[in-house]
Structure 1
Amino acid sequence: MDRTDVLDRVKALSLLPDGMHVTTAMVATYFKVTVKTLESVVEDHREELRASGYHVLTGTQLALFKRASGIQSRSRSLALYPRRAVLNVAMLLRDSEVARQVRVYLLDMEYLARTQPVENTVPTDTATLNARIDQRITHILGKTVVPMFNALIETSSDHRRELIALRTGVQHIERRLRQHHSRLQRLEGPREDRPRAGIMAAMDAMNGREFEEHVASLLRRDGCTNVLVRGGGRDRGIDITALTSDGRALVVQCKRFAPHLNITSPEIQKFLGAKVLHTSDIALFVATCPFTRDARNIAAESGITVVHRGLLEEWSAGAPLTVLH
């Protein structure tokens, strides 16, 4: 229930100006159901949703909330859902494809947490370290700082305006950090038009040898012949050799890293050295994670084709790899 970030990975969730809540109509729009359907779910599971933060504002509380958030409404009551309650709704809705996708993504994440091998590599890439810091800061801002400001605003009269202004600034920072983190993690998230979390979940659960065999099977599917998985400690930096359908020599390096890591320039340079020792027309570097900008630049200059996490997902789902044809 704490993995509310899943909501935005499946579909963008618009929030009220307070940056914390959504209304019944907004939740219904997100899940593509009618307001009546959502109200029926609330009626059947009201206590459970209340435990997740669902509440209804009336009277003075409603007036204060409208004033603070700038909402224009003549209604005498307003039902509010924090992100946790929206995630709770996703577990209760039966006839919503969006809710089903949220549940599937949660199951995939749980599967990964239980089966993914522990990586011993300590990330040194600056972007990776910054992403982790961004996540921690965003979590603290959303879970601690903003609620603290909300409580102060409710009880303070002398400094109410200043507190609201400060809260707005904190929420702006929180949104910017979320946007920054989303850009860094875009490759590992499912797309709304074609969510494939299951494909990558299965691949992330493989060991190194299984991943090499998976890449070899993709090469055979795309018409390659003489596909040989070399692997092991004597592979001299080349995991797979093959011939394309038109006879060109192919060498492949495979790296099964955790999604939050990156392939850095030293990895590409090492592969480049191995490529020099093997006469080849095409060199592929296939990885279950993104590549840093420096790594991509060196690869492009050296004639190495990088197959990053997003491209690997498409290739595994059936799309042909252009360089092989």
Structure 2
Amino acid sequence: MINESALLESRSLRHSVLGRTDVLDRVKALSLLPDGMHVTTAMVAAYFEVGLEAIKSLVKDHRAELEASGYRLLTGEELRSFKDLSGFQSRTGSLALFSRRAVLNIAMLLRDSNVARQVRVYLLDMEYLARTQPVENSTPTEVLSLDDRIDQRITHILGKTVVPMFNALIETSGEHRRELIALRAGVQRIERRLRHHHARLQRLEAPLEERPLAGVMAAMDAMNSRKFEEHIATLLNRDGCTDVVVQGGPGDRGIDVIALTADGRRLVAQCKRFAPYISITSSDVQKFVGSAKVLYSADVALFVATCPFTSDALSIATDSGITAVDRALLEKWSAGEPLKVLGH
């Protein structure tokens, strides 16, 4: 499995996963310019929640790589044409544009950004799932039930209409036979790629029990709330807790899992399966403090989330004796590293 440090250091590895630009929107919504294809340096900085200089510095150090990924610096007539076609207004004499591939490339280079790290983790999780699931041949029935993000009608039309049309033309054409055969081959390649992509999406979004769980955040992101609570209960059992009960649901008063640690301390946990770009706020933690400490008199209180915590939320958690298990710590815990608070 490709690891994060190798991704940061290896240009060839970064290039091998540049096609997975969909992970950008899975981590955080990426706003585009009116042309629907590009973003500016300021927009890239805002997405990764860093200063402009951090992005400019990366461009300076990795200019050739980023240009190969779609980075462009427009000036003169090219800039004027872009403004006319896109409707984008700018008074500067130059404009740096990043394609979605270039933004993903930045995510694989930018070290000091929590958002960039989330993109890398999600990217590696998705690649891991894709690499570890066997390739299956899709039947017509399977194809019709695949993810609606790909318009299945395109595949159907290519296979059932366009290719037979080329076959008929080839049979009756003499002068352009070679060109028609080449075009038919191109259409068939596109059809195969669409079918392969359909199958890949189906593997990635298969039921959880068919996926490797340990260390794979993408699998947890695919869980519903109940499955996530059960996953946390499994981790607690693994780390020596007893009397583990999942009680999340209506009337749980903010406590999803209760248990006893290996040394007999009362433990409660709240489990939040949120998108990676959402943060746990101070008010979320304050509500949990009341339930954990007042209603349950817990010795150990875990607030487990698939997303980050705000700095205020972390401060309140520390002051109140709450253990905040954010996305990064949850990943390590799921991969086998025990939580220190559960130890003797």
TM, length-normalised to structure 1: 0.52
Query: Match for residue 188 of structure 1?
Result: 118
Q: Deviations over 1:136-165 (max 9, x none)?
A: 47942269995542754899xxxxxxxxx9
Which runs of structure 2 are paired with 1:112-261 in the superposition (5 Å)?
A: 136=32, 139-141=38-40, 146=72, 148-149=74-75, 151-152=77-78, 166-167=93-94, 170=96, 183-190=113-120, 195-197=124-126, 198=129, 199-261=216-278
Query: Match for residue 11 of structure 1?
Result: 7
Query: Match for residue 300 of structure 2?
Result: 282
Could you tell me which of 13, 20, 23 is aligned with 1:106? 20
Query: Match for residue 124 of structure 1?
Result: none
For 1:228 and 1:108, locate their aligned partners in 2 and report how far apart those are by CA, in whole Å: 37
Aligned amino acid, residue 167 of structure 1: S
For 1:148 and 1:108, locate their aligned partners in 2 and report how far apart those are by CA, in whole Å: 26
8 A Cα contact 1:263 1:295, kept in partner = yes
Secondary structure of the residue aligned to 1:314 is helix
8 A Cα contact 1:290 1:308, kept in partner = yes
Q: Identity of paired residues, percent?
A: 44
Alpha-carbon shift at residue 196 of structure 1 (Å): 4.2
8 A Cα contact 2:254 2:288, kept in partner = yes
Could you tell me which of 12, 23, 26 is aligned with 1:31? 12
Aligned amino acid, residue 225 of structure 2: G
8 A Cα contact 1:224 1:245, kept in partner = yes
8 A Cα contact 1:108 1:201, kept in partner = no
For 2:116 and 2:20, locate their aligned partners in 1 and report how far apart those are by CA, in whole Å: 17
Secondary structure of the residue aligned to 2:278 is coil
Alpha-carbon shift at residue 291 of structure 1 (Å): 0.6
8 A Cα contact 1:248 1:282, kept in partner = yes
8 A Cα contact 2:302 2:323, kept in partner = yes
Change (3 A) 1:146 1:212: same
Q: Does 1:292 align with 2:314?
A: no
8 A Cα contact 2:306 2:327, kept in partner = yes
For 1:299 and 1:139, locate their aligned partners in 2 and report how far apart those are by CA, in whole Å: 40
For 2:76 and 2:302, locate their aligned partners in 1 and report how far apart those are by CA, in whole Å: 53
Q: Deviations over 1:229-273 (max 9, x none)?
A: 011111111000001111111000000001111111111011111
Secondary structure of the residue aligned to 1:189 is helix
Change (3 A) 1:153 1:108: closer
Secondary structure of the residue aligned to 2:249 is coil
Which runs of structure 2 are paired with 1:39-50 in the superposition (5 Å)?
A: none
Change (3 A) 1:186 1:297: farther
Secondary structure of the residue aligned to 1:311 is helix
Gaps of at least 5 residues in structure 1 are 1-7, 14-28, 33-86, 91-98, 114-127, 156-164
Change (3 A) 1:211 1:239: same
Aligned amino acid, residue 281 of structure 1: D
For 2:6 and 2:221, locate their aligned partners in 1 and report how far apart those are by CA, in whole Å: 19
Secondary structure of the residue aligned to 2:94 is helix
Aligned amino acid, residue 291 of structure 1: F
Query: Match for residue 176 of structure 2?
Result: none
* RMSD of aligned residue pairs (Cα, Å): 4.4
8 A Cα contact 1:239 1:253, kept in partner = yes
Query: Match for residue 199 of structure 2?
Result: none
Secondary structure of the residue aligned to 1:106 is coil
TM, length-normalised to structure 2: 0.49
For 1:286 and 1:269, locate their aligned partners in 2 and report how far apart those are by CA, in whole Å: 14
Gaps of at least 5 residues in structure 2 are 44-69, 82-91, 130-215
